[in-house]
């Protein structure tokens, strides 16, 4: 029988445990403290592990021994041995720090310095997940970190010894994602970053890193993106970037090459993958910033970093962006998504925190460069004057308040633990210091303005790039179809090359387009967050002018006038963009946006830029129930108090205002803007409550804004129809040239190419102009049925009559056959429909003409009037089966006009030779109501000058400012003219 083992003493047990842990023979137990460990690490023992893996092994073995010790029955021995193991772990960690912080300390190990910190694989294994492309980081397979090692390593140490180790780790993490796209493994480095900053020392070391905000003379937006520690994490994206900075794997190539031949399910799968990984990135990056912002010690550094990123990339707002000096769209779209996540706590449905956003931040912030941005209404001189005029007492009071708040902030920060949760809540009302001690703002205020800037340079810029990309694809496709048509007629090797080049270009553009679609357009959550932010924006802006009520204040408050213009423009752009994406507006509260648009679209005293006010109409256009095909938005138009009271009024006002935008392209711009207004007005005319409002405005403003509206509507109709008809004649000439095959083939290839291009360009111009002309004539037709008085005013009636006569001449006159086209519908040219509308307008005005002035106005037009046109038009209307009553009324009007013409001739003959002083110098007709122009002192007929003033508020003889109320009645001359007429009539009767 075996004899019982002798009981080991605690010293012997300790010795066994330490031998196992440190793999060394100990002579004097641990009395020599850790000398044995220094010897082991300094000696160059053959086949022994180098210091770092050896120390990690020690820690792992200590951990394993600790588990065994927990099963010891003797409590006293167990407690003693637990202490030994703890001490051993501490030693291993401590020497790891010493070794990593100063690798030259143990010089006998022949080994090259690793490219990355040996800690990195351990951190990766700590945060690894099944979705990562790889688990460890070392080439020798998986490196598992012993439990508890990293916590102990980063927790119990002084900053100076940890800082160099952490700095190296941050540089390594930055390097590991530097050229990684959305399809690469960025998730592990991102989790590693989050893990490191969860330690107070880790957070502090990150923001103290020289690459936290890189410095230097050549610092620009791209340098920050590529060299700052966080920059490469924000560079991870699915969006296209400049070739030099392209990340791998190539998302466009991998997911969307030859997309037109792929199954929809494959594309959908790619879209879903990209959306998912990007949202993981956004969440992780937001968590990093939030963690650092909650920590009182690191918060200011985060705001500084964001400020620098924004300021150094301000040129991203330009139409042409230099990709070498500016950060990528990827970085700024990611930053947009992250900032929106930071805003979430103050984007509640009632926007209860909006009073924390101080408009003075625009001038006082030393963090963001906002003062140089275009303001909504104020000029830089007005801003300077306003800031200079502020009450000095008020400034002193606010300075004292700031000092008080500064002291309060310092005392709160002193009592906080300095950990990432020890700082005060970000969303408390307590102000935070700005970069200088000058002004102080809450986090909500800082975050609001930063987010507005980031969205402008990020998400909104990406929308704009996407729009241009779609236009580029469309242009390429048009050119390609032209080339293919030409190749069919006369093939050439050069054409083959051009076609191949264009096809390749379209393929690359299409890949880029789908990348945008994947990361932005299909991310409903991103769009909804952005819409929530801009809802806060418009509610806050309206608060600056006294809330949602009309009319607006008589003067624009400076706080509102000084707000950067892009804040409002971006809100409109987002609404336009989101309106075109199916379901993007589902569940979004649009009422505030609607009221906001109605308030400001016709208010040049609040929003100076006419193109920005026109953009508001574009939003309404997108929401128009009949274009969106749903009634989700119909209540906005039909059930809103502000809408019912002001919508038609403000649309008519903007229609007039947009005549003069101040831009060199104003003549052409006004047509597309008025097209949007006309579409809305046509829809609103069909809504009874809006039609009633319209009739009321026409009555109240008969000689005001409504007359101006009518004048511009008539001017536009004449110009557009005239342009279209002339272009049709030019197009027919080109058509004839091209159909003469023998002659056409003899021409040089380049000439044929140019003529073909011109043909397609003319086609487009006719289509656009004709569409706009049809719209204007339609509006004249439906409004003239119920509102005739303004058409028949002395300053308007002859202009309207001339327009109708001119259109009639073109449509049924001797030249009409020259306007016949092979496919008129292709050009929106519908002569029968047009004729019907023109005749309707004649008849509507005749019905409302109580004083019988319309027939005479028709005949006074010496250019187009011809009595035969009325019977010719009636014949066409009969042939196309038009309503007999309408034709009858039209024929009767023609007869009245004929009679008026004969009476006018008699009257003219009776007057004989008219003295020059009685003739209007513009029209050379006998004046009825002569007036003197105050500046040039020239006498003209009142209706003639009033008609001129509808389009141009200047004296036609010297261009000085002139309005109707400045005209001076020439009573003396009027009496002379009346006396002349009387005397001529007397002569006739005697």
Measured distance CA(649)–CA(603) in Å, rounded:
12
Distance set, CA 619 to CA 471, 647, 668 (Å) = 20, 13, 20
Statement: residue 130 has pLDDT above 80 = no
Q: What pLDDT shows up at residue 743?
A: 83
- Furthest C-alpha separation in the chain: 168
Closest CA to 252 of 514, 521, 462: 514
- Ranges assigned E (strand) in 84-209: none
In the chain, where the domains are located:
30-107+118-125+145-156, 160-340, 348-385+439-457+523-701, 734-911, 916-989
Please indicate whether residue 490 or residue 353 has the higher confidence score (pLDDT). Answer: 353
Tokens of 888: 């009858």
Which residues in 30-48 are b (16+ Cβ under 10 Å) and which e?
Answer: beeebebbeebbeeeeeee
Mean pLDDT, all residues of the chain: 85
Mean pLDDT of 319-324: 90
Is the confidence at residue 134, as pLDDT, over 50?
A: no
Predicted pLDDT at 413:
40
User: Tokens representing 755?
Assistant: 């003529």
CA 678 – CA 667 distance, rounded (Å): 17
CA distance 429 to 357: 11
**Residue 988 corresponds to which tokens in the numbers above?**
């006739």
| pTM, rounded to two decimals | 0.86
Checking if the pLDDT of 388 tops 90, the result is no
Name the band, by pLDDT with cuts 50, 70 and 90, for residue 38: low
Cα 677 to Cα 662: distance, rounded to the nearest angstrom: 19
- Per-residue confidence (pLDDT) for residue 774, from 0 to 100: 92
Taking only the tens place, the pLDDT of each residue in 821-854 is 777 888 888 889 999 999 999 999 999 999 999 9
| pLDDT class of 630 with cuts at 50, 70, 90 | low
pLDDT tops 90 at residue 462: yes
- The CA distance from 302 to 289, in Å, is 7
CB 251: neighbour CB atoms within 10 A? 27
- pLDDT above 90: residue 232: yes
Which band of pLDDT confidence, cut at 50, 70 and 90, is reported for residue 114?
low
**Does the structure show a pLDDT above 80 at 782?**
yes
Helix, strand, coil % in the chain, rounded to nearest 5 = 65, 0, 30
CATH class of the domain defined by 916-989: alpha beta
pLDDT tens digits, 535-592: 999 999 999 999 999 899 999 999 999 999 999 999 999 999 999 998 888 888 899 9
919 forms beta bridges with 926
Residues 6+ apart with CB under 8 A from 28: none
The confidence score (pLDDT) of residue 742 equals: 81
The pLDDT of residue 631 is above 70: no
d(CA 37, CA 686): 92
Q: What is the pLDDT of residue 417?
A: 35
Give the separation between CA 523 and CA 282, rounded to whole angstroms. Answer: 12
Q: What mean pLDDT is predicted for residues 597-621?
A: 94
Of 392, 396, 237, 212, nearest to 304 by C-alpha is 212
Q: Provide, rounded to the nearest whole percent, the portion of the chain with pLDDT above 70.
A: 87
Q: From the CB of residue 258, how many other CB atoms can be counted at a distance below 10 Å?
A: 9
Which of 39-48, 607-616, 856-865, 950-959 has the largest mean confidence?
607-616
d(C-alpha 688, C-alpha 683), whole Å: 11
Task: Return the closest-CA partner of residue 858 out of 900, 801, 906, 942.
Answer: 801
Q: CA–CA separation, 652 vs 681, rounded Å?
A: 8
- Interatomic CA distance for residues 177 and 470, integer angstroms: 30
What are the backbone angles phi and psi of residue 919, rounded to the nearest 5°? -95, 140
Q: Which of 354-358, 568-572, 725-729 has the lowest mean pLDDT?
A: 725-729
Residue 665 has pLDDT above 80, yes or no: no
**DSSP per-residue string spanning 18-84:** HHHHH-S--SSTTTTTTHHHHHHHHS--TTPPPHHHHHHHHHHHHHHHHHHHTT-S-HHHHHHHHHH
* Cα gap 101→632, rounded to integer Å: 64
3-state secondary structure of 584: coil
- Report the residue count for the chain: 990
pLDDT, position 981:
80
Between CA 613 and CA 658 the distance in angstroms is 9
Q: Which of 247, 241, 268 is nearest to 256 (CA)?
A: 268
Cβ atoms < 10 Å from Cβ of 951: 13
Does residue 392 carry a pLDDT above 60? Answer: no
Q: Which of 262-276, 283-297, 735-749, 847-861 has the lowest mean pLDDT?
A: 735-749
Res 401: pLDDT: 43
Residue carrying structure tokens 């008085």: 789
Distance of CA 721 to the CA centre of its chain: 34
CB 869 within 8 A of CB 807: no
Confidence label for 648 from pLDDT (cuts 50, 70 and 90): very high
The number of angstroms, rounded, from the C-alpha of 159 to the middle of its chain's C-alpha atoms is 45
């Amino acid at each position: 029988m075996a004899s019982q083992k002798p009981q080991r003493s605690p010293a012997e047990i300790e010795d066994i445990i330490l031998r196992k842990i440190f793999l060394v023979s100990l002579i004097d137990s641990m009395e020599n403290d850790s000398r044995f460990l220094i010897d082991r690490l300094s000696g160059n023992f053959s086949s022994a592990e180098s210091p770092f893996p050896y120390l990690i092994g020690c820690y792992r073995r200590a951990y394993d021994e600790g588990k065994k010790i927990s099963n010891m029955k003797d409590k006293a021995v167990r407690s003693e041995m637990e202490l030994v193991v703890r001490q051993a772990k501490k030693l291993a960690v401590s020497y790891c720090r010493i070794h990593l912080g100063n690798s030259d300390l143990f010089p006998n190990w022949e080994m090259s310095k690793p490219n990355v910190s040996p800690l990195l694989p351990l951190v990766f294994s700590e945060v690894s997940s099944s979705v990562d492309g790889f688990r460890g980081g070392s080439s020798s397979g998986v490196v598992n970190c012993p439990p508890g090692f990293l916590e102990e390593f980063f927790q119990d140490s002084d900053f100076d010894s940890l800082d160099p180790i952490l700095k190296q780790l941050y540089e390594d993490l930055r390097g590991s994602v530097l050229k990684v796209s959305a399809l690469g493994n960025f998730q592990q480095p991102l989790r590693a970053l989050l893990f490191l900053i969860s330690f107070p020392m880790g957070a502090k070391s990150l923001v103290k890193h020289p690459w936290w905000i890189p410095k230097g003379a050549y610092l620009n937006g791209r340098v920050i993106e590529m060299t700052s520690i966080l920059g490469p994490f924000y560079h991870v994206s699915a969006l296209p970037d400049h070739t030099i900075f392209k990340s791998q794997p190539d998302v466009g190539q991998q997911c969307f090459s030859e997309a037109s031949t792929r199954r929809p399910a494959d594309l959908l799968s790619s879209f879903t993958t990209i959306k998912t990984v990007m949202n993981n990135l956004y969440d992780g990056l937001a968590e990093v910033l939030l963690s650092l912002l909650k920590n009182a010690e690191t918060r200011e550094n985060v705001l500084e970093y964001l400020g620098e990123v924004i300021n150094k990339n301000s040129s991203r707002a330009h139409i042409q962006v230099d990709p070498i000096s500016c950060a990528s769209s990827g970085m700024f779209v990611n930053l947009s998504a992250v900032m929106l996540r930071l805003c979430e706590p103050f984007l509640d449905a009632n926007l209860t925190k909006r009073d924390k956003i101080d408009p003075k931040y625009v001038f006082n912030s030393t963090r963001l460069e906002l003062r140089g941005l275009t303001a909504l209404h104020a000029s830089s001189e007005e801003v300077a004057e306003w800031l200079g005029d502020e009450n000095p007492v008020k400034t002193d009071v606010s300075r004292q308040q700031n000092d008080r708040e500064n002291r309060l902030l310092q005392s709160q920060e002193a009592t906080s633990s300095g950990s990432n949760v020890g700082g005060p809540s970000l969303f408390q009302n307590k102000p935070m210091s700005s970069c200088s001690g000058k002004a102080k703002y809450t986090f909500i205020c800082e975050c609001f303005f930063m987010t507005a800037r980031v969205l402008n340079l990020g998400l909104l810029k990406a929308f704009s790039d996407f729009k241009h990309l779609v236009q580029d694809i469309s242009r390429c496709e048009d050119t390609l179809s032209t080339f293919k048509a030409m190749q069919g007629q006369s093939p050439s090797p050069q054409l083959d090359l051009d076609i191949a080049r264009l096809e390749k270009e379209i393929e690359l553009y299409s890949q880029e387009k789908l990348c945008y679609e994947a990361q932005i357009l299909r991310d409903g959550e991103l769009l909804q967050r952005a819409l929530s932010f801009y809802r806060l924006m418009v509610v806050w802006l309206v608060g600056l002018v006294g809330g949602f009520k009309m009319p607006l204040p008589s003067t624009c408050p400076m706080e509102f006038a000084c707000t950067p213009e892009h804040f409002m423009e971006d809100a409109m752009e987002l609404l336009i963009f989101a309106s075109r994406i199916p379901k993007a507006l589902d569940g979004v509260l649009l009422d505030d946006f609607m009221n906001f648009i109605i308030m400001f679209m016709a208010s040049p005293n609040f929003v100076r830029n006419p193109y920005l006010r026109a953009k508001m109409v574009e939003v309404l256009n997108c929401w128009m129930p009949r274009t969106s095909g749903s009634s989700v938005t119909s209540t906005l138009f039909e059930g809103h108090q502000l809408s019912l009271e002001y919508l038609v009024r403000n649309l008519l006002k903007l229609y007039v205002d947009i005549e003069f935008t101040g831009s060199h392209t104003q003549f052409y711009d006004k047509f597309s803007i008025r097209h949007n207004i006309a579409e809305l007005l046509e829809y609103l005319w069909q809504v009874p409550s809006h039609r009633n409002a319209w009739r009321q405005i026409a009555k109240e403003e008969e000689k005001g804004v409504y007359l101006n509206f009518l004048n511009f509507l008539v001017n536009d109709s004449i110009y557009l129809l005239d342009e279209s008809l002339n272009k049709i004649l030019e197009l027919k000439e080109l058509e004839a040239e091209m159909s003469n095959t023998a002659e056409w083939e003899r021409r040089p290839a380049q000439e044929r190419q140019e003529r073909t291009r011109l043909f397609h360009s003319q086609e487009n111009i006719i289509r656009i102009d004709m569409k706009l002309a049809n719209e204007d004539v339609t509006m004249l037709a439906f409004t003239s049925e119920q509102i005739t008085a303004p058409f028949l005013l002395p300053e308007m009636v002859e202009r309207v009559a001339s327009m109708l006569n001119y259109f009639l001449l073109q449509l049924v006159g001797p030249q009409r056959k020259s306007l016949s086209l092979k496919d008129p519908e292709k050009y929106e040219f519908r002569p029968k429909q047009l004729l019907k509308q023109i005749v309707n307008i004649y008849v509507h005005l005749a019905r409302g003409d109580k004083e019988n002035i319309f027939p005479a106005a028709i005949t006074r037009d010496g250019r187009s009037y011809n009595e035969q046109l009325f019977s010719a038009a009636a014949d066409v209307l009969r042939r196309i089966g038009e309503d007999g009553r309408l034709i009858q009324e039209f024929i009767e009007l023609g007869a009245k006009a004929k009679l008026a013409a004969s009476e006018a001739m008699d009257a003219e003959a009776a007057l004989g030779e008219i003295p020059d002083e009685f003739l209007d110098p513009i029209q050379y007709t006998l004046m009825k109501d002569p007036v003197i122009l105050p500046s040039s002192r020239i006498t003209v007929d009142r209706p003639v000058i009033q008609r001129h003033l509808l389009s141009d508020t200047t004296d036609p003889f010297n261009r000085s400012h002139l309005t109707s109320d400045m005209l001076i009645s020439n009573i003396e001359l009027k009496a002379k003219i009346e006396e002349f007429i009387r005397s001529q009539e007397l002569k006739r009767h005697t």
